[in-house]
A and B are shown apart, each in its own frame.
Chain A
Amino acid sequence: MKVVVDLKLCEGNMRCQEAAPEVFEVGDDDRSRVLIENPTGATLERVRLAARLCPRQAITIEDK
């Protein structure tokens, strides 16, 4: 399991950080950074929500 943000798509709309602040951090460069790449449990659920809410659909959760 790996959480990936496509930086070509990300524009810093902040939805991910609002949904899962422990996993996503939007920096001064208006790009989202993944703090925990393989979250589990309730955190993973919040990451799935973030992926759904991302306006530009920049977040993917890759199964490994």
Chain B
Amino acid sequence: MQAEQQQFSLDTLNIIGPDHYAKNGYPHAEWTYLRKQKPVFWCEFPNTDPFWAITKYADIVQISKQPRLFNNSQRLLVFVPDAPAEPDPVPPFRHLLNMDPPDHGDFRSIVSRRFTPRAVRELEPEIERITGEVLDRMVDRTSCDFVIDISSKIPLAVIAELLGVPHQDWEKLFRWTNQVIGGGDPEFQEGTNSDETFDRARMELFTYFTDMVARRMKNPTNDITSIVANSSINGTPMPQFEMLSYYFLLVVAGNETTRNATTGGLLALIENPEQFHRLKQDRSLVKSAVEEIVRWTSPVIQFARTATQDTEVRAQKIRQGESVCLFYPSANRDEDVFENPFKFDVGRNPNPHIAFGIGEHFCLGANLARLELEVIFRQLAERLDYAELAGPVERLRSSFVGGIKHMPIKCQMKPATMQ
């Protein structure tokens, strides 16, 4: 992990191939090298358009703060398919992630008040209950797959309840999320390739929510599905394509990131037992521990932006139409911002990580994710007496989301203490 001294050749250095992520996790040694040697680095890889790799914290902030100079709509992320792919004539969705101002703000404000610190605080008792029930099921067991049995269950239940999706359909949400994010991974592939996997899941989700929208238009409720279904943009009802894309985004984003922060967080605590001990001794550290877990895991690896006119980043000329790829986990290990960036420290303060992004496209669900993680790690600190790895950690074959598919652990979970 402390591979700061490693040398690489810029000709062969690979920070975007999904196989690296499946085998080794994040290429921190490569990013560290780039931050020092080539922080704005032109990358050409097979099957994807070239891009500038941005690895410094300050540069990612600077770019993110200028959503008109660096837009989202032209290229959402650097996607690396296994075979040359025909570019889609029309994007398969249009939601917050591939919208620009002023549309982005108009669409975002439809649900943003549901995700403020104040609004999500009201969900705390429900998240406590959901988490408690998931952990209760572990009391009589001595081992589990932490992903399947614990970390995937909680965000799934929370986003499903916010959307008003009935319990019997939660498995569908789980499967669609895996197929959308993990379509490049053999475990989740359906059909012949990642594109086909992605498209089937997207169509199933669109069909499912088309039905639900019809019901919510007839009988409005208080869930987010109903709010979006009955919303207007500048006085005009939201078009159906944007509406379905909205649900697509909320389902996928609500599941995948928190799950991986939770899994990666426990892994970090297992690998740093003195930090786990410290957290157990002093629960007032839960908030800072959560921030450190989010910095440490940085579940979203990258998003892209495209320059709308000629400009410069760190004195490097970027031409109109060229894209930049923002590597958030690299920014969150930047030596210029974080003291001992490769130390996992549950008491880290200050911790101005940008794992949720920053600026116009700052993660809409950040406050909800923080609350979920707070509840989960507070309960784990209270109840998880002991945990160790019982087999290899299986990582997702993706250079977009740093996923952990399976994490077998041996563990001892205490019953909840009576209040």
Contacts and interface: CB of A to CB of B under 8 A. Distances in A.
Contacts of B360: 9, 56-57
A52 B116 contact: no
Interface string A24-64: 00000010000000000000000000001101110000000
B358 interface: yes
Contact of A30 (B65, B116, B362, B366): B116
Given A52-B352, A53-B352, A14 B359 contact: no
B352 A11 contact: no
A52 B105 CA distance: 21
A13 B121 CA distance: 12
Given A52-B352, A56-B359, A57-B359, A13 B367 contact: yes
Given A55-B362, A56-B362, A13 B116 contact: yes
B112 A11 contact: yes
Contact of A11 (B65, B116, B356, B358): B116
Interface in B109-145: 112-113, 115-119
B116 A12 contact: yes
B74 to A, nearest CB: 21
Contact of A12 (B118, B356, B366): B118
A52 B64 CA distance: 13
Nearest to A28: B118
Contact of B105 (A8, A12, A13, A14): A8
Contacts of A13: 116-117, 362, 366-367
A56 B364 CA distance: 10
B56 to A, nearest CB: 16
A30 B118 contact: yes
Nearest to A56: B362
A30 B358 contact: no
Interface in B352-385: 352, 356, 358-360, 362, 366-367
Nearest to B366: A55
A14 to B, nearest CB: 5
27 contacts: A9-B105, A9-B360, A11-B112, A12-B116, A12-B117, A12-B118, A13-B116, A13-B117, A13-B366, A13-B367, A14-B116, A30-B113, A30-B118, A52-B352, A53-B352, A55-B356, A55-B358, A55-B359, A55-B362, A55-B366, A56-B358, A56-B359, A56-B360, A56-B362, A57-B65, A57-B359, A57-B360
In order of increasing CB-CB distance, the 7 nearest A-B pairs are A55-B362, A57-B359, A12-B116, A30-B116, A14-B117, A57-B65, A56-B362
